[in-house]
Amino acid sequence: MQPIFKADPEKLQALYNSGMTQTELAAHYGVTQKAIWGFMRRHGIKARIAAKRDQKGSKNSSWVGDKISYKGAHNRVEAERGTPKFCEVCGSSDSTKRYEWASLTKNYSDVMDYKRMCKTCHVNFDKLMHPRRRLSESQALYVKEQIKSGRKQSEIADELGVKRTLINHIKANRSYKEVGN
């Protein structure tokens, strides 16, 4: 197989040994990194062991900052603070129980805004701190009228301070069936 490009192996090795990466060499010679890698392999130029790079936080190309998803936030907390193995509320450390990170203020991007809780304490905490908002019959009727008029479910939910799933349940007649019939 013909080499993709021609270069002086000694000059390339000197550039590589001076600290240039294979990607930088590829840009220098106007070829791909893979072409440089193949050239080095064919000419017996040993590649350096790739240096461990710090890929945490904003140094990661996939970093989204505060625009993180719920699951991503919990993964971030677990990566930063470890897997919870006891409950800070009831003090349980029973290995047969499930322990989770519970967000205290729904500031999901702050890894210090979480507390270790067993599943039972977490559910009780969520019920206390984030009670489900119920609608009156007149509000449920209003929701049905707004849906019929073509208004977006997310807009109705935001206006009434409820989750979109509740609006969806009303639309599908799974909640507030008796209203407006």
Domain range list for the chain: 1-51, 65-129, 137-171
Most confident of 55-59, 84-88, 103-107, 162-166: 84-88
pLDDT at 3 > cutoff 60: no
Picking from 100, 90, 36, 47, the residue whose alpha carbon sits closest to that of residue 70 is 100
* pLDDT over threshold 90, residue 143: yes
Burial zone of 151 (CB within 10 Å; 0-12 exposed, 13-18 middle, 19+ buried): middle
pLDDT tens by residue, 32-42 = 999 999 999 99
Q: Which fold has domain 1-51?
A: Arc Repressor Mutant, subunit A (1.10.10)
